[in-house]
Amino acid sequence: MAIPTYQRTLAKDVRCSGIGLHSGKPVRLTLKPAPINYGIKFVRKDLPDNPTIPARFNCVVDTSLATVIGSDGVIVSTIEHLMACLAGLSIDNVIVELDAYEVPVMDGSAGPFTRMIMEAGIQQQEAPRHFFVLKEPIELEQDGKFVRAYPDTTFKITCNIDFENPLIRKQSCSIEVEDHIFEREISSARTFGFLHEVEYMKRYGLARGGSLDNAVVIDENEILNENGLRYPDEFVRHKLLDCIGDFALLGMPILAHIVTGKSGHAFNHAFLENFFKNKTSWHTLTLNEPADPPSRTAKSLAI
């Protein structure tokens, strides 16, 4: 399955509501179709003048517990799973409206967002997508963590994790990022945490919305969720999901094979900063598809 070469948006508005993972506060989310070259922007509908923040690496203001973007003192928090969903489905242009500062956590995965978008449909637009293309590998390595990007003709990610916990240990997962593969293999993988960390965070007023309904919680040798895991290697699949969300902050799709080891939001973000400093290592282009112009294909891909 080839990567889409024309820009895509939603066929219609989609809505959901839930609570914020860290705030515990209720929030309503609406995703709306957006025009060509709009990108993905978050709009705070609860604030005067509805401030808008682009979902781009240079608007990231915090990555310690969740990915937070901000501009002029206004923030939107915990955007990573929604961003992973939009990038995983190759959707370029969306208006994301929220009536609070945190994206709803839903079930701790990107599954609910993915299902509602697939149900609404994806609309192909009459303009080519612009891709980052690497001229040479780019790497960032520090304290046993690494992110490496290799030139490729498509978008692939390989994630490696290594935890001391016997339920996790070493896991590796590799996929080509394409909408059906993302939906089936990655979108439902939930965030995870250790019981002692969750208790610590709650003591300090964080993870107020966190529960067994939206995270896999591990207590030493035991998974506390009644129904166990959704995939035997759900942990590394979630890390891959997070990685897709972090790379979505490039603002444009990338043709590369990304390989990570023990990385997380903060280190992925450091890689993106490094990427934009290495301007001689990449360029951007569009992929022509002369045999299949959008004017002759179905406008709404009901997938």
Where in the sequence numbering do the catalytic residues fall? 265
Structure tokens at 142: 């520090």
Is position 268 an interface residue for Zn ion (rule: CB under 5 A)? no
**Piece of 130-138, 221-229, 238-246, 271-279 that binds Zn ion (CB under 5 A):** 238-246
Is position 191 an interface residue for Zn ion (rule: CB under 5 A)? yes
Alpha-carbon distance values, 163 to 172, 194, 216 (Å): 12, 11, 15
Helix (H, G, I), strand (E, B) or coil at 81: helix
Q: How far is the CB of 81 from Zn ion (least distance, A)?
A: 6
Q: How far is the CB of 141 from Zn ion (least distance, A)?
A: 22
**Piece of 153-161, 169-177, 180-188, 190-198 that binds Zn ion (CB under 5 A):** 190-198
Q: Binder to Zn ion among 102, 234, 242, 246 (CB under 5 A)?
A: 242
Q: Which is nearer to Zn ion, 59 or 243 (CB)?
A: 243
**Piece of 21-29, 42-50, 130-138, 191-199 that binds Zn ion (CB under 5 A):** 191-199
The Cβ of residue 270 has, within 10 Å, a number of other Cβ atoms equal to: 16
Rounded to an integer, what distance in angstroms lies between the CA atom of residue 31 and that of residue 37?
Answer: 16
Q: Which is nearer to Zn ion, 179 or 242 (CB)?
A: 242
Is position 178 an interface residue for Zn ion (rule: CB under 5 A)? no
Alpha-carbon distance values, 49 to 30, 45, 74, 189 (Å): 17, 8, 12, 36
Alpha-carbon distance values, 205 to 22, 141, 160, 199, 200 (Å): 8, 33, 31, 10, 9
Is position 246 an interface residue for Zn ion (rule: CB under 5 A)? no
